[in-house]
Structure 1
Amino acid sequence: MINKSKYWICPSGYEVASPRIVEAIYAECVPVLISLDHVLLFGDVLDWDAFSVQVSMSEIPNMKIILMDIPEDEYLRMHERVMQMQRHFVVNDPSRRFDVFHMILHSIWLKMLNVQISR
Structure 2
Amino acid sequence: MDMEKNFKIFVYPYTDKAFADDKRRKLSGKYGSEGYFFESLQQSHFLTTDPDKAPLFFVPISCHKLRREGRSYEDIAIAFQDYVKSLIAKNPYWNRTRSRSFLRNLYNVQYVPRKDVPLPQIIQPFALPAGGNNLKNRTLLAFWAGRCSSDIRDKMIQAWQNDTELDIQNEQIDIQNIRGHIAYQEKLQVSFLRLSAVILSDYSVLPFNDILDWRNFSVILKEKDVHRLKKILKRIPDQEYRILQDNTVKVQQHFQWNSPPVKLDAFHPVLYELWLCRHVVKYERVDTGMNR
- Given the alignment of the two structures, is residue 65 of structure 1 paired with residue 206 of structure 2, yes or no? no
Q: Match for residue 5 of structure 1?
A: 191
Q: 2:240 aligns with which of 74, 82, 95?
A: 74
> How high is the TM-score relative to the length of structure 2?
0.31
CA distance in 2, matches of 1:37, 1:110: 21
CA distance in 1, matches of 2:192, 2:251: 16
Q: 1:32 aligns with which of 189, 192, 198?
A: 198
CA distance in 2, matches of 1:54, 1:8: 13
**Preserved CA contact (<8 Å) 1:9 1:34:** no
Matching residue's letter, 2:248: V
What's the CA shift for 1:98?
Answer: 0.6
Deviations 1:54-98 (A, max 9, x none): 121211121111111111111111111100111001111221111
2:195 match: secondary structure: strand
What's the CA shift for 1:8?
Answer: 2.1
Deviations 1:38-67 (A, max 9, x none): 220111111001111012121112111111
- Given the alignment of the two structures, is residue 48 of structure 1 paired with residue 214 of structure 2, yes or no? yes
Decide which structure has the larger Cα Rg and report it.
2
Q: Match for residue 14 of structure 1?
A: none
Q: Runs of at least 4 residues of structure 1 off by over 3 A?
A: none
1:33 match: secondary structure: strand
CA distance in 1, matches of 2:192, 2:262: 29
Q: How many correspondences in the alignment?
A: 96
Q: Match for residue 13 of structure 1?
A: none
> How high is the TM-score relative to the length of structure 1?
0.73
Q: Match for residue 144 of structure 2?
A: none
Which is richer in helix?
1
Matching residue's letter, 1:96: V
Structure 2 regions of 5+ residues with no counterpart? 1-186, 282-292
1:6 match: secondary structure: strand
1:70 match: secondary structure: coil
Q: Match for residue 14 of structure 2?
A: none
Matching residue's letter, 2:269: M
Q: Match for residue 26 of structure 1?
A: none
Give me the CA root mean square deviation: 1.7
CA distance in 2, matches of 1:2, 1:72: 17
CA distance in 1, matches of 2:244, 2:217: 4
Q: 1:91 aligns with which of 257, 266, 284?
A: 257
